[in-house]
Amino acid sequence: MTHIGIIIGSTRPGRNGEQVARWVLEHAERRTDATFELVDLRDHPLPHLDEPVPPMMQQYQHDHTKEWSAKIAGFDGFVMVTPEYNHSTSGVLKNAIDYLHHEWNNKAVGFVSYGSVGGARAVEHLRLVAGELKLADVRTSVSLSLFHDFTDYTDFQPSDVQAATLGTMLDELVAWSGALAPLRDGQLTAQQA
């Protein structure tokens, strides 16, 4: 069965991302076409990229990289829950992405963002990164406004419209993750040869 990782893209104290990711998980777990798992970057404290060999070579030296690689390799697709910081995604999420290469390839990704303009600029940046990593980004994304989907900018209260958009994004994500399975299988065969 398709296995999707929901990555919490913030480690900031008082972050909104955990509430948002748990909302995504709550809706996702109602589905029967995939399994879902939270991936909290707090549980994977990666220093600024410290591998001496580029990730494309997969010659990881550090245990934290090997553990991160094993975690990400086990998924068929991802939901990245991202804040928008200074017109982009968080540094911690970008760093976690940059640690790996092949582990992201031929998988699908959907985005749930939040910020003053719904995190839209963070998602635009992540779409560019996804393309380089052969991550197929689905069209629909959920953009949560700090002004309309949070009370006092901290208490998450999404509207029914946001839940419907999330459902559409998850439909696309699961479908694309399944459609890419033959490419992932081919990639594994080529790496094992």
CA distance linking residue 12 with residue 17, whole number of Å:
9
Count of domains for the chain: 1
> Strand, coil or helix: what is 189?
helix
Q: Any idea what the Cα angle at residue 114 is, between residues 123 and 1, rounded to 5°?
A: 65
pLDDT value at position 65? 98
Q: Packing angle between helix 120-132 and helix 91-98, nearest 10 degrees?
A: 10
> Contact, 53 vs 100, CB < 8 A?
no
Range of the domain at 186: 2-192
- For 33, 59, 172, the CA distances from 102, given in Å and listed in that order, are 25, 12, 22
CA distance linking residue 177 with residue 108, whole number of Å:
5
pLDDT value at position 186? 79
pLDDT in tens, the chain (193 residues): 999 999 999 999 999 999 999 999 999 999 999 999 999 999 999 999 999 999 999 999 999 999 999 999 999 999 999 999 999 999 999 999 999 999 999 999 999 999 999 999 999 999 999 999 999 999 999 999 999 999 999 999 999 999 999 999 999 999 999 999 999 987 655 555 4
